[in-house]
Chains A and B, each alone.
Chain A
Amino acid sequence: MRLQLSPELEAFREEMRTFFTTQVPQQIRDKVAGHGHVSKEEYVEAQRALNAAGLAVPHWPVEWGGRDWTPLQRHIWREEMQLANVPEPLAFNASMIGPVIAAFGNQEQKERFLAKTANLDIWWCQGFSEPDAGSDLASLRTTAVRDGDDWVVNGQKTWTTLGQHADWIFCLCRTDPTAEKKQRGISLLVFPMDTPGVTLRPIELIDGGFEVNEVFFEDVRVPAENLIGEENRGWDYAKFLLGNERVGIARIGSTKRMLAQAKEHAREITVDGRPLLEDPFMATRIAELENELVALELTALRVVANSADGKPHPASSVLKLRGSELQQAATELLVDIAGPLSVASFAEEGSDVPAWARVATPHYLNYRKVSIYGGSNEVQRTIIAGTILGL
């Protein structure tokens, strides 16, 4: 039992902090801090800055750009990145398809995709969910039928995040409709989004933003060499990928930033002549959230230390569950601090409402998503009750 970071880790943390706060363009970090719209170009610029310094995909195998860091180093890397408002490396690339290709792809696929994936030369999107396959992902119906040297894909995906920016999609398709268990007949295919037969329809979210899409496939021909891993083993790769997704989803650094902003803004708002931050009820609400976040951060450190074999610790469900709740609580706090200003979401020039108050409610509404995706919080409770408590 020891509180302090070792001198080496202390130095590592300092190195990360310095890099993130000096080498990633300030205007991009300001946008993240202000919950503004980060453009495709800005995501790409930020990820390339990280990749050039070997900081985009440290968790990958060393030969493909990984750093052989300890879980604690990765944790520090991620937290410092969030604290510095750096847009994280695109999850679809860095946490999802990259590690899957590195683990299960053939040599040719590794050479073809991995470097470009790390550098965001290829922008990937995740084609898993379908209208009738959400939490019960294994019931997906999009089919891929072998025809000569091609797979022919038909069906529909939905909730495809940033599909409008994507160059390629990794897609779960049913390749054996006769398999005894529905999990057994699924394969993982990758193909370009501009392949004939692929169409995209944007879905507007409640915050007025466009970040998800429906993607339709009509006789899309995918060369056989674009199958990742083995035929009908796609479910295993999906589980591997979703396990990676859950790690780091607690987003503690990012919530910490929001609480710091909340304090800053609560100083600027006056109630009966006194700063809102001095109102005992508001101060206590913030103090409680801060304490919950400390508890989560410490739990993340505990879990991280116990997952050295690369497998997610079952308690990582706690991180997802509580992490999403705290992110949501922080966005809600910001709306409440904005108070009446919080309705001015779409004010433009000519409005005196500060930018942070304009984005507060859309951000809060948008963040209802974090307890739904990445395995909904009900799914996490099922995992905790089943895997940990044996219920």
Chain B
Amino acid sequence: MDFTFDSEQNDLREAVRGLLERAYSDSEVRRKVAATDPGFDEKTWSRLAEMGLLGLPFAEEHGGMGAGPIEVAIVAEEIGRVIAPEPFIEAVVLAGGLIAAVGTDEQKGELLAGVAEGTSVPAFAHAEIGTRWSTSASSVTATQAGESWTLSGVKEPVPNGARADVLVVSAVVDGGTGLFLVQGDAAGLTRTGYRTHDGTRAANVRFDGTPATLLGTGGDQTAAIERALAEARIAYSHEAIGAMDTALRTTAEYLKTRKQFGVTLNRFQALTFRAADMYVSLELARSTALWASMVQDAGGDVVSAADRARLQTSRAGRHIGKEAIQLHGGIGVTAEYSVGHYTSRLTAIDHLLGDGDFAAARLARTVADRETVDPLGAPYAV
């Protein structure tokens, strides 16, 4: 049991922080970037690629760095710290992660190097209107004719779905849910992108007999989707930790400088106690997120570990996001000041892959199966 980062991990954090702090020196820069499509900065994306971060979790033979979940966690947290809008989790961890987990050697060789180099930005088209946070597809269907496949139906909202050059799509197949690759310029593909409340982008993605290739060798991919979603939930938990950390620090600074009634606001215990509670929420969530990454690293039950991290960071994110605004007063709700954007991003993270109630309900279903939870024992440490 060891919660300390090694020196290479500290170096990695420093390098990523340096790059992102330069790119997003203040919240106005992010606002400007978010105002125009594709909702992130292509130059920053290239720099992330140059640093090797876009291939971080992929095997070296596929152009990646062969790094583990802890390194992914570090990058995600640093992204959250400045709420960089670059779709690292969406493209690399989730869509890239599915390609790495399910793809054939040929597909991995072909696609992952492009992701790592920053030339390809994939997206996972999975959500369907009328369902939520499912591991399977229900309205997009796949039809086979000989060797080739076509897809029909609608996916929405697809994060970063309009900018993506290749889509990983879940679709109903005989006996379950299959995964497919669709090129951005495929016939019968219509994408309508829009801005989301947190300044990033999502899209309506319509398939109408759209040609697709099978990702991997076919069959039901529900388990692979469940696992990829879990790993992305853990990564999002770290992004949320970074965002909460900044929201809290910004709030504490504000309380020390803003004067009302002739004194700075930190003279009011009604406010400092609430800041203390925010700190408690943050640190408990941080411990859980770090632990979930360690479980992933150790090959333990990543799905339930992700639910635990999701539950804790969801509750913490809402608590800290709301209080950060409230403790600022009116300026907190303006787009011209940073803190509200953090709350907006935390709110988006909370709903992309499952919120706290979702995770709690899943954990509740197995509550009777265990006498106690031992985070250092089975099924987490193996």
Q: Pick the residue among A1, A277, A294 that contacts B294 (CB under 8 A).
A: A1
Q: Which residues of chain A come closer than 8 Å to B368, judged between CB atoms?
A: 263, 267, 277-278, 283
A295 and B2 form a contact (CB under 8 A): no
Which of B279, B367, B380 gathers most chain A CB within 10 Å? B367
Interface residues of A in 244-278 (CB under 8 A from B): 256-257, 259-260, 263, 267, 277-278
Q: Which residues of chain A come closer than 8 Å to B248, judged between CB atoms?
A: 389
Q: Size class of B's contact patch?
A: 35 or more
* Contact (A5, B364) CB under 8 Å given A298-B288, A391-B255: no
B5 and A390 form a contact (CB under 8 A): no
A294–B310 alpha-carbon span in the complex (Å): 13
B280 and A3 form a contact (CB under 8 A): no
A391 and B275 form a contact (CB under 8 A): yes
Q: Pick the residue among A83, A290, A389 that contacts B363 (CB under 8 A).
A: A290
Query: Is A2 among interface residues, defined by CB-CB distance under 8 A?
Result: yes
* Contact (A305, B272) CB under 8 Å given A1-B9, A297-B375: no
A384 and B360 form a contact (CB under 8 A): no
A288 and B311 form a contact (CB under 8 A): yes
* Contact (A390, B364) CB under 8 Å given A381-B277, A385-B272: no
B276 and A287 form a contact (CB under 8 A): no
Interface residues of B in 252-283 (CB under 8 A from A): 252, 255-256, 266, 269, 272-273, 275-277, 279-280, 283
A125–B48 alpha-carbon span in the complex (Å): 61
B312 and A390 form a contact (CB under 8 A): no
A318 and B372 form a contact (CB under 8 A): no
* Contact (A277, B367) CB under 8 Å given A3-B298, A291-B308: yes
B1 and A5 form a contact (CB under 8 A): yes
Query: Is A296 among interface residues, defined by CB-CB distance under 8 A?
Result: yes
CB of B265 to closest CB in A, whole Å: 9
Q: Which residues of chain B come closer than 8 Å to A260, judged between CB atoms?
A: 371-372
Q: Which residues of chain B come closer than 8 Å to A306, judged between CB atoms?
A: 3
Closest to A315 in B: B283
* Contact (A4, B266) CB under 8 Å given A381-B276, A385-B276: no
* Contact (A263, B279) CB under 8 Å given A5-B1, A291-B312: no
Q: Give how many A residues have a beta carbon under 8 Å from the other chain's beta carbons.
A: 52
Q: Pick the residue among A4, A384, A388 that contacts B298 (CB under 8 A).
A: A4
Which of A83, A288, A292, A322 gathers most chain B CB within 10 Å? A288
* Contact (A305, B275) CB under 8 Å given A284-B364, A390-B256: no
Q: Which residues of chain A come closer than 8 Å to B298, judged between CB atoms?
A: 2-4
Q: Which residues of chain B come closer than 8 Å to A263, judged between CB atoms?
A: 367-368, 371
Can you report 26 residue pairs joining A to B where beta carbons are below 8 Å apart? A2-B1, A2-B2, A3-B294, A3-B297, A72-B1, A257-B372, A263-B367, A263-B368, A267-B368, A280-B364, A283-B364, A283-B365, A284-B361, A290-B373, A291-B288, A298-B288, A302-B287, A305-B4, A306-B3, A318-B279, A381-B276, A382-B276, A384-B279, A384-B280, A388-B276, A391-B255
A283-B364, A286-B364 known; 6 other A-B pairs, CB under 8 Å? A291-B311, A291-B363, A294-B291, A294-B373, A385-B275, A389-B279
